[in-house]
């Protein structure tokens, strides 16, 4: 299935169009995370105003609460959450890995206790495909075996083989033809293993591919090296999605390595801690320096928050404990990352990604050094 058109290349970076059942999405793209069918504190209309065309929801959480059958009865995930753009659903493997009590993995799948009430459940490659087909997302992720940073090569190899086996089983279980299914490259921090896994998954001819199991404690430089190893073996005509990565620096450097799609809770989680993203680094709005600062968060930002509110006002809201504070900064942070990827796309199309990225990275480095 051809769901992706590469429109321009500049060295390793790519600009493309991802074709989904709920519209085309220009890449590179950042996907805000709506784990529970809700991007925390941000309405669908606000997401649209930020230029967002695709979001992520999580199959694990929606399976446990409110349940896939209710969502299907409501008309599917788009209707349930009143979102007209595209939706990618994660398989839930990471959540089982990080949240579920008494979880274990074997060749059949994951077996775990709910983090909500302790009830017992199992996820298999087939059941996760069926779950996401019931939810009705545009892009579904296969179940993968995720391992933490620091595992030995034998455990990483075992997880990679299991992930490959599960991908084969998932592909056989697919029934919907209006949903794209992405496989996930694992392999921990072992380059040869990553390359082999990417080659083996590429041979299965999925519509797209994700790079998983990184930014889980292995160190940034190592993570970027594993991104390099993965993208160099994945098909050039298929979309590439780096899972769980969302800082401006990581996006810029990963786009240079051929990544097209990103997701992360970083913008909304930062906002709840009074941290605003700007072209010159993060601002901590709890700092006294912003109490009388009547400038917008970022003079270069065109988002609704920067058009209407000052740093002083937002700092006041945080000090006063007003719930509007993290909401407004969440909107700004999402808009900022959306603009960042749009600007990266423009630079790629114009053949100037190297100079653009160096300029943006230099501003972030200077902010870190002075901060």
Closest CA to 174 of 110, 238, 131, 209: 131
**Active centre residues (catalytic):** 90, 263
213 phi and psi angles, rounded to 5 deg: 75, 20
Give the C-alpha distances (Å, rounded to integers) separating 29 from 191, 193, 245, 252, 262. Answer: 26, 27, 12, 11, 6
Give the C-alpha distances (Å, rounded to integers) separating 304 from 29, 41, 160, 254, 297. Answer: 20, 15, 44, 28, 11
DSSP letter string, 187-219: -TT-HHHHHHHHHHHHTT--SEEEE-S-SSSS-
Give helix 153-173 / helix 125-135 axis angle, nearest 10°: 50
Could you give the CA distance from residue 73 to residue 134 in angstroms, rounded to a whole number? 10
Contacts of 251-254 with C-beta under 8 Å, sequence gap 24+, read 251/28, 251/30, 251/337, 251/340, 251/341, 251/344, 252/340, 252/344, 252/357, 252/360, 252/361, 253/224, 253/357, 253/361, 254/224, 254/227
- Return the structure tokens found at 237: 């005509």
Helices (H), 82-219: 93-98, 125-135, 153-173, 191-202
CA 174 to chain centre: 23
- Our CA angle for 334, 335, 337, nearest 5°, is 65
């Amino acid at each position: 299935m051809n769901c992706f058109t590469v429109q321009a290349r500049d060295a390793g970076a790519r600009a493309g169009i991802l074709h989904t059942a709920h519209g085309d999405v220009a890449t590179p793209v950042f996907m805000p995370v709506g784990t529970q069918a809700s991007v925390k504190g941000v309405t669908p209309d606000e997401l649209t105003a930020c230029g967002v065309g695709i979001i992520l929801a999580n199959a694990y959480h929606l399976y446990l609460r409110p349940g896939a059958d209710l969502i299907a009865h409501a008309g599917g995930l788009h209707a349930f959450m009143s979102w007209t753009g595209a939706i990618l659903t994660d398989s839930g493997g990471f959540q089982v890995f990080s949240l579920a009590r008494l979880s274990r993995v074997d060749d059949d799948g994951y077996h775990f206790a709910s983090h909500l009430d302790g009830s017992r459940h199992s996820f298999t490659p087939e059941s996760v495909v069926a779950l996401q087909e019931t939810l009705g997302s545009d892009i579904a992720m296969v179940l993968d075996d995720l391992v933490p940073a620091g595992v030995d090569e034998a455990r990483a190899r075992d997880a990679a083989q299991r992930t490959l086996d599960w991908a084969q089983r998932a592909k056989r279980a697919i029934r919907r033809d209006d949903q794209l299914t992405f496989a996930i490259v694992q392999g921990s921090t072992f380059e040869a293993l990553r390359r082999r896994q990417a080659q083996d998954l590429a041979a299965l001819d999925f519509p797209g591919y994700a790079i998983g199991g990184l930014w889980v404690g292995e160190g940034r430089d190592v993570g970027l090296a594993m991104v390099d190893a993965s993208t160099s073996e994945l098909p050039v005509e298929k979309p590439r999605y780096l899972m769980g990565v969302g800082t401006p620096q990581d996006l810029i450097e990963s786009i240079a390595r051929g990544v097209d799609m990103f997701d992360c809770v970083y913008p909304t989680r930062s906002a709840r801690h009074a941290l605003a993203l700007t072209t010159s680094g993060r601002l901590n709005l709890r700092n006294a320096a912003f109490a009388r600062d009547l400038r917008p968060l970022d003079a270069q930002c065109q988002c609704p928050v920067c058009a209407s509110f000052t740093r002083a006002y937002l700092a006041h809201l945080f000090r006063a404990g007003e719930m509007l504070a993290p909401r407004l900064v969440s909107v700004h942070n999402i808009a900022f990352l959306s603009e960042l990827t749009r600007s990266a796309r423009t630079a790629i199309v114009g053949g100037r990604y190297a100079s653009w990225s160096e300029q943006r990275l230099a501003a972030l480095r200077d902010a870190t050094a002075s901060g």
